[in-house]
Every structure is written in structure tokens, then in C-alpha cells.
């Protein structure tokens, strides 16, 4: 799927084409249907050419041969109508607004019963049309995080273009990533690499210590599980500016998943891996090995931590020498540590010692 250059008109056309297909199926006396890849862990596979994980060959079919199946296609038709109008008028809306908006539809059967239902339908439409939610002008609830570093961008806003340097034209808080990062053009940069940082506390530490300035690093704050906008921007920084990307998280299984969502994409949105994932992104830490090497303050692994680690060992995306070694070490020591635990060595340890050592080992510096 190549979505980068999908225009509003194209996205609209693909949606209308899908509705037209239902129409043609009806007209030909067939039961209308929509075919989708099965979206489970067992149906994702590595695409060596695109270097990302994508859905495999297993398919599920939504068909109108039952009342509930027919209702699904009815909801799809109403949603297509709404999205086509939205694109026509150059408006946008959130997933939550779509859910509530359905209450105003004249056919009660077409209204959504829960937001999960409308969210899933929008994902289905992404897969079938090969466009993205952003192409439909659907915004997420929460926007992307923020960037600090030697990068000059031009953002095309509703109110005109804005040229913003992500160090010189922003406050201590940095540049706020908008919902749709494809409105951003990279004008100029002096960056050597991109570092995605999980927590706000560590992001602020790096900025306070001037790490972005000293190492010409673009510090991208993930803010926990990163929004699509943040992942998309990271991928574009890598692809378009040819910058190495590293990910700096807490040392626990949930944080490895955050790394995974940057590097591999998620199972739920494997249809967007090529658009959102940066497979070349490398994991800086906190590694279980760091817990041992630097004798970091730790918490014991909980049962759910252990389960999550075991499920990662089982996940094809984590079946590399690095991850198997680190996860087995972590199960062995039974401990986890946060990024900010590095403060037990002093506030400058992370920028004076830890990161330079790790980045040198990894060949980034």
C-alpha cells in the first residue's frame, strides 16, 4: 500500500468505488460482501522486500447473508457517505465524533452501538481502500507528541504555512506534532540522528542537558504508546532525511512494545506498517543488560510482566538474537527498571555517560 501521495479526491474515489461494488453485487443478484485479511498475531508475516510485518493470506469475509452481516455493510455504506462528504468539504472529524454523529443518521440500524464498532469499521475501510484514516480526514483523539532539535519545517496549517525551527522558534516544550504529519515539509536540518524517548521526564532531562544541541539529535517525545502521527513523522525523518532512528524507553515488556510499535508496527494496524513503521529503528535501552551493568534501582517483575515477556518471546517480530537474549536475561533476573532510574548515578549520567557509550557501541555516534 502506498498512501503517501493519496489525494483527497483519490481517497474519496476509492470509498465510492467500494460502495459501487456493493451496488454491482446487488445488481448481479449476488450477496454483497467485503473481504479482509484476518487481523491476528498468527496471520502476520515478514515482508522481506518492504522490510515490515504485514498481514498474511488468511482472509475473513463480511457478508450480508445474515442480519448482523447486512447491518455491518449498511453501517459501512453510511460511513462511506459521511467520509465522502467530509472530503468534499475539506473538513475533518475525530473517531469519537463519527460514533456520535451516527446518532443523527436517518436509519437507526446504521447507527453505531459502541465506539469500538466505528473504530473497527474505519480500519476495515483503510484496508479495503488502501488509504489511511488520515486520508479520510479522521483525526485521533490525541495528537502527536513533540520534537526538539536542529530541524526547520514548514507546516501547512488551515491558516497558511508556518516555518518553524524546532530549536530556535519554539519554547522549552518544543514543537507540537500536529495530527496529520503529512502537512509537514522538511526544509533544512543539521541532524545526525533521531532519538524517540518514552517518558516526558527523560525528554525534559535530555533537553535541559542540551543533548539535542550537543549531539545534533532530534529528540522525539513518544509519551507512552506513540500516536500514529508521531510514528509517521519518525518514519519520514528516517526515510526522507536518511537519519538513523533509535528508541529510548523504560526497561520492561510494555516499553519493548512501544519500541515494537515504532519499529515493526502493530498487529491491529499491520495494513499500515509500510506507512508507519521504521524497521531500521534500533533499541538503545533500558536493556536488561543495563540493569546488570549499571546496577540500576529496580522493581520486581509482576506476573503480568512475566506473561508479557513470554508472549514477546513467542512473537515473530521479537525473534531476533538481541531480543531473545535480553528477554531471557530479564526473566532470569526477575527485575525491571525505568529510564529515570539512571538518575541514581546523578542527573548527568544519562547524557554524559550512558547514551554516548550506548550510541557509540551501536555505531550511531
Sites of contact with a copy of itself (CB under 8 A): 91-94, 96-97, 100-101, 103-104, 139, 141-144, 146, 155, 157-159, 162, 164, 167-180, 183-184, 199-201, 204-205, 208, 210, 213, 223, 297, 338, 340-347
Q: Which residues contact 136 (CB under 8 A, 6 or more apart)?
A: 11, 15, 83, 86, 87, 122, 125, 126
Residue 312 CB, shortest distance to a copy of itself, in Å, is: 25
Residue 319 CB, shortest distance to a copy of itself, in Å, is: 33
Tell me whether residue 334 or residue 346 sits nearer to a copy of itself (CB atom). 346
Tell me whether residue 210 or residue 316 sits nearer to a copy of itself (CB atom). 210
Look up 175 and say whether it is catalytic.
no
Catalytic residue among 100, 175, 215, 259: 100
Rounded to the nearest 5°, which phi and psi values hold at 78?
Answer: -65, -40
Q: Strands across the sheet with 151-157, in order? A: 160-165, 151-157, 184-189
Report the greatest alpha carbon distance in the chain. Answer: 73
Q: Which long-range contacts (CB under 8 A, 24 or more apart) does 21-27 make?
A: 22/73, 22/76, 22/77
Tell me whether residue 22 or residue 215 sits nearer to a copy of itself (CB atom). 215
| Residue 208 is labelled as binding a ligand | no
Tell me whether residue 33 or residue 165 sits nearer to a copy of itself (CB atom). 165
C-alpha cell at 279: 524497521
Distance CA 274, CA 280 (A): 12
Distance CA 301, CA 287 (A): 14
Residue 197 CB, shortest distance to a copy of itself, in Å, is: 13
Tell me whether residue 204 or residue 280 sits nearer to a copy of itself (CB atom). 204
Residue with cell 512473537: 315
Residue 90 CB, shortest distance to a copy of itself, in Å, is: 10
Cβ distance 254 to 302 under 8 Å?
no
User: Bridge partners of 246?
Assistant: 195, 282
| Residue 88 is labelled as binding a ligand | no
Q: Among all residues, which ones are annotated catalytic?
A: 100
Extract the annotated binding site: 198, 250
Binding site for Mg(2+), residues? 198, 250
Amino acid at each position: 500500500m502506498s498512501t503517501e501521495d493519496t489525494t483527497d479526491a483519490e481517497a474519496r474515489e476509492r470509498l465510492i468505488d467500494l460502495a459501487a461494488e456493493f451496488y454491482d453485487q446487488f445488481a448481479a443478484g449476488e450477496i454483497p460482501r467485503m473481504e479482509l485479511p484476518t487481523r491476528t498475531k498468527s496471520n502476520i508475516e515478514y515482508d522481506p522486500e518492504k522490510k515490515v510485518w504485514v498481514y498474511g493470506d488468511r482472509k475473513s469475509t463480511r457478508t450480508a447473508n445474515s442480519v448482523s452481516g447486512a447491518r455491518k455493510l449498511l453501517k459501512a455504506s453510511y460511513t462511506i457517505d459521511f467520509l465522502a462528504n467530509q472530503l468534499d468539504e475539506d473538513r475533518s472529524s475525530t473517531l469519537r465524533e463519527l460514533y456520535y454523529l451516527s446518532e443523527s443518521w436517518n436509519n437507526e440500524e446504521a447507527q453505531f452501538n459502541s465506539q469500538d464498532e466505528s473504530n473497527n469499521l474505519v480500519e476495515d475501510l483503510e484496508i479495503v481502500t488502501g488509504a489511511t484514516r488520515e486520508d479520510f480526514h479522521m483525526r485521533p483523539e490525541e495528537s502527536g507528541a513533540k520534537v526538539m532539535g536542529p530541524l526547520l519545517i514548514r507546516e501547512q496549517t488551515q491558516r497558511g504555512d508556518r516555518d518553524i525551527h524546532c530549536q530556535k522558534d519554539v519554547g522549552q516544550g518544543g514543537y507540537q506534532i500536529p495530527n496529520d504529519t503529512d502537512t509537514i515539509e522538511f526544509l533544512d536540518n543539521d541532524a545526525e540522528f533521531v532519538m524517540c524517548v518514552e517518558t516526558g521526564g527523560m525528554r525534559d532531562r535530555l533537553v535541559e542537558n542540551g543533548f539535542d544541541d550537543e549531539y545534533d539529535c532530534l529528540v522525539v517525545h513518544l509519551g507512552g504508546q506513540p500516536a500514529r502521527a508521531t510514528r509517521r513523522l519518525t518514519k519520514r525523518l528516517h526515510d526522507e532525511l536518511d537519519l538513523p532512528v533509535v528508541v529510548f524507553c523504560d526497561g520492561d515488556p510494555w516499553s519493548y512494545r512501544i519500541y515494537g510499535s515504532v519499529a515493526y508496527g502493530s498487529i491491529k494496524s499491520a495494513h499500515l506498517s509500510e506507512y508507519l513503521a521504521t524497521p531500521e529503528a534500533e533499541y538503545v535501552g533500558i536493556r536488561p543488560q543495563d540493569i546488570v551493568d549499571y546496577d540500576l534501582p529496580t522493581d520486581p517483575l509482576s506476573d503480568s510482566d512475566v506473561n508479557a515477556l513470554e508472549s514477546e518471546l513467542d512473537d515473530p517480530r521479537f525473534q531476533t538474537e538481541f531480543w531473545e537474549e535480553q528477554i531471557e536475561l530479564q526473566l532470569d533476573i526477575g527485575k525491571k527498571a525505568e529510564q529515570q532510574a539512571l538518575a541514581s548515578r546523578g542527573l548527568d549520567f544519562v547524557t554524559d555517560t550512558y547514551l554516548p557509550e550506548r550510541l557509540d557501541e551501536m555505531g550511531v555516534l
